Amino acid sequence: MDALLALLQSHGLWIVFLAVLLDQGGLPLPSFPVVAIAGALAQGDTAALAQLLVVVTAAGLLADAFWYVAGRRYAARLLEWICRLSLSPDSCVSGARQSYARYGAPSLIAAKFVPGFAALATALAGQYRLGAFRFTFWDGLGCLLWGGSAILVGVVFADAVREVLDTLSELGRWGGALFIVALALYIGRKALLRQRFLAQIRMARIDVDELSARLADDDAPLVLDVRPRAVREAEGSIPGALGVDDPAQVEVAPDREVVIYCACPNEASAAVLAKRLMARGVVRVRPLQGGIAAWRARGFRVERLPRIE
């Protein structure tokens, strides 16, 4: 642990830069505590605190710029990949897409403060062709506020942070071991929550070929699109589908067959709504496997859809 503290003292800015870069780049490595510790160590040195803020902002912008450019080029495929690797797949249920659809570029600020949202929000900014200048402004402001809040926490609680560091230093190798164990427990807990969530939404799916064939039948299923309204309006939907903003809006006969789709990996949003409908007595309900992305990949037609008022 002494070696780690010595490294932080001598190469603190580089360590902070790397930690923020990896965190904002999508890895499950919490950089907020690292920035807070650096802020505590720099307490009382205005120049050092200013340098720290610049480094944090630059690292965040650099990581986000990568996702922004990738979002412009790879769009939905990139978002699906991010969600599949995320330790918080529920963030794909209604988080980043709904926030960006509702608030646009300013949502990039809030995304910095919500674990798992930063990469998604910046990739969405690229997908929806947000201008480079506006992206830099709003994302830079978000990085500045996020970094400033972490540094402020470190400065305010500098004495407590130093006491903890001193205790870990006195423990020597045991202190380093405790640090590693704490990090492992954090990542393990996130992974466990992910598996629990995926288990909760495990249910039978309908594939796009079967749905396409069923839509031509006289007893075609009711198809519900649970993506955010702005996304539905911008991208179109499966012919005949109804846009749903709130599950409480849906009135379905218990014996009616229902198909629900979204744009999330694992069909998370669709599965969540399907579970709610099943709890209300609608037993013939299935999410669409692969969602709207699978429908488009098969070359099936999309159209503008009416919205349930």
Alpha carbon dihedral 221, 247, 268, 93, in 10-degree steps, equals 140
End-to-end Cα spacing for the chain: 60
CATH superfamily, with its number, for domain 208-297: Rhodanese-like domain (3.40.250.10)
Give the highest mean pLDDT range of 36-45, 47-56, 265-274. 47-56
| Residue ranges covered by each domain of the chain | 2-200, 208-297
Q: What span, in angstroms and rounded, lies between the C-alpha atoms of 146 and 112? A: 6
Determine the Cα angle at 302 with ends 261 and 132, to 5°: 85
- Which of 146-160, 168-182, 234-248 is predicted with the least confidence, judged by mean pLDDT? 168-182
pLDDT for the residue numbered 115: 63
Mean pLDDT value of segment 253-281: 77
pLDDT for the residue numbered 99: 65
pLDDT for the residue numbered 308: 47
pLDDT for the residue numbered 145: 94
Return the exposure string of 271-304: e unless at least 16 CB atoms fall within 10 Å of the residue's CB, then b: bbbbbebeeeebebbbbbbbbbbbbbeeebeeee
Cβ pair 215, 240 in contact under 8 A: yes
- Average pLDDT of the chain is 76
Cβ pair 69, 195 in contact under 8 A: no
Q: What is the pLDDT of residues 237-253, one digit of tens each?
A: 888 888 887 666 777 77
pLDDT for the residue numbered 53: 94
Q: What is the pLDDT of residues 103-148, one digit of tens each?
A: 778 888 887 887 667 777 787 787 777 888 989 999 999 999 999 9
Could you tell me if residue 291 is left (phi over 0), alpha (psi between -120 and 50 degrees) or otherwise beta?
A: left
pLDDT tier at 37, thresholds 50, 70, 90 = confident
pLDDT for the residue numbered 93: 43
pLDDT for the residue numbered 78: 58
pLDDT for the residue numbered 187: 63
pLDDT tier at 50, thresholds 50, 70, 90 = very high
Name, in order, each residue with C-beta under 8 angstroms of 13's C-beta and a sequence gap of 6 or more.
38, 51, 52, 55
Q: What span, in angstroms and rounded, lies between the C-alpha atoms of 289 and 195? A: 19
pLDDT tier at 309, thresholds 50, 70, 90 = very low
pLDDT for the residue numbered 91: 46
pLDDT tier at 304, thresholds 50, 70, 90 = low
User: Computed from CA positions of residues 29, 30, 36, 37, in that sequence, does the dihedral angle turn out positive or negative?
Assistant: negative
Q: Which helix (H) or strand (E) holds 208?
A: helix 208-214
pLDDT for the residue numbered 202: 60
Nearest partner of 251 among 224, 275, 231, 271, judged by Cα: 224
Burial level of 69, CB count in 10 A (0-12/13-18/19+)?
Answer: middle
pLDDT for the residue numbered 100: 67
Q: What span, in angstroms and rounded, lies between the C-alpha atoms of 20 and 14? A: 10
Q: What are phi and psi of 43, to 5 degrees?
A: -55, 135
pLDDT for the residue numbered 32: 84
Q: What is the pLDDT of residues 182-215, one digit of tens each?
A: 656 766 666 665 566 555 556 678 888 999 988 8
Q: What is the pLDDT of residues 51-110, one digit of tens each?
A: 999 999 999 999 888 888 877 776 555 566 565 555 455 445 455 666 666 677 888 888
Q: What span, in angstroms and rounded, lies between the C-alpha atoms of 52 and 143? A: 12
